Structure 1
Amino acid sequence: MTNEKNSGAEPIVLGALHGAYGLKGWVRVQPFQGTSALLGSKHWQHVLPDGEVRPVELEKAKLHGAGIVAKFQGIDTPEDAAALRGAVALYRKDFPEAEENEYYWVDLIGCDVVNKEGQSIGQVKGMIDNGVHDILNVKRADGKEVLIPFVEDYLAEVNVEAKKIVVDWDPSWD
């Protein structure tokens, strides 16, 4: 997902278009983080390289290896699919409901991070996927950044509504 806080007025870019798949107009999509948001919604947006956003009518989408293949209304040939450039996005309102103890990155960005003792660590600037687990990229008050694994061992509480994450972390660790 994008690493910028999103108010919901702009679509959130969730994956890149990577050319045609097969002979019937399917297109390859490389998700930036997980696949649940894209596969859980039919309200995809096509973000052109110049930033223009166009709604696309999704006929079908399915997992294919580490990515997704999708079929859009009106895209019926490999040439049509190959001509698609840019990315795919969703408006925040179109995300499916997250499961218990699952969070969308866009909802974590901007959260205040404190430790169990109430000491401020900083604010979530972004998220990183290292292939094993997600990592909070936290900007401290002094401008330095600290990386905190977003795993159960370090998480005490995540409250998206209050924009607060409580971690088992010492502020002096960097």
Structure 2
Amino acid sequence: MQLVVGRIGRAHGIKGEVTVEVRTDEPELRLAPGAVLATDPAATGPLTIAAGRVHSGRLLLRFEGVRDRNAAEALRNTLLIADVDPEELPEGDDEYYDHQLMDLDVVTVDGQEVGRITEISHLASQDLFIVERPDGTEVMIPFVEEIVTDIDLEEQRATIDPPPGLIDDRAEIASARDAADEASDDASGEASGEDL
């Protein structure tokens, strides 16, 4: 099975190094020197990691055969893909590979059906579940402990405790509008009373 483990960013320096947006919790394993990675687009790879280092908090990699800035810049936005045994599990108890989370049913703590996970989006600040609702719309659920309270792989279910407005933004907007309308009605009533 193949997992996206990184995305190549801009070139760094003149000797073929590139910045890498890491998309794995195990960069020391997946992005180590000697690792051979498939790519998307496929014609760019496979790429073999020749060297890696961290500079100013960013991972820099150099690939075999990429010796200058122009060659490095040509790799920009390429996805790096590792072959992983489907039976392999992450080391931590509360860690999951994307393929384990795909297609899980999402329900609230009180049993309300939310939808099904169709994509996991890896952002710099946090990961997001992209959940397709039964009506075909999508909702984004931050994959943080405060909201995603349980992942049950055997039952193929993710349980969430969403804050108000996260999964039903229309209700939140309507209630805020109603409150504003009531406040303006009260204010106009008081103003007309003062005129008497």
TM-score normalized with structure 2 length? 0.63
Letter in 2 for 1:25: G
The alpha-carbon distance between structure 1 residues 89 and 22, as it changes in their structure 2 partners (threshold 3 A), is same
**Structure 2 counterparts to residues 155-174 of structure 1, below 5 A:** 155-160=148-153, 162-169=155-162, 173-174=167-168
1:125 aligns with 2:114: no
Residue pairs, 1:36-75, within 5 angstroms: 36-41=25-30, 42=32, 43-47=35-39, 49=41, 51-52=42-43, 54-65=45-56, 67-75=58-66
Aligned length: 161
Which structure ranks higher in relative contact order (CA pairs < 8 Å, sequence separation ≥ 6)? 1
> 1:21 is matched with which residue: 3, 7, 12?
12
Find the counterpart in structure 1 of residue 142 from structure 2: 149
Pairwise CA RMSD of aligned residues?
3.3
User: Residues 139 and 21 of structure 1: is their aligned pair in 2 closer, same or farther, counting only changes over 3 Å?
Assistant: same
| 1:60-98: CA deviation from partner (whole Å, max 9, x where unpaired) | 223334642112233344444344353322123398834
What's the % identity of the aligned pairs? 27
Q: 1:151 is paired with a residue of what secondary structure? A: coil
Runs ≥4 in structure 1, deviation > 4 angstroms? Answer: none
AA in 1 matched with 2:25: S
Following superposition, the deviation at residue 165 of structure 1 comes to 0.9
Structure label with greater radius of gyration: 2
Unaligned runs of 5+ in 1: 1-7
User: In the TM superposition, what are the counterparts of 1:42-121 in structure 2 within 5 Å?
Assistant: 42=32, 43-47=35-39, 49=41, 51-52=42-43, 54-65=45-56, 67-84=58-75, 86-93=78-85, 97-121=90-114
TM-score by length of 1: 0.69
Q: Deviations over 1:141-163 (max 9, x none)?
A: 12122332322222221134543
- Structure with the higher helix share, 1 or 2: 2
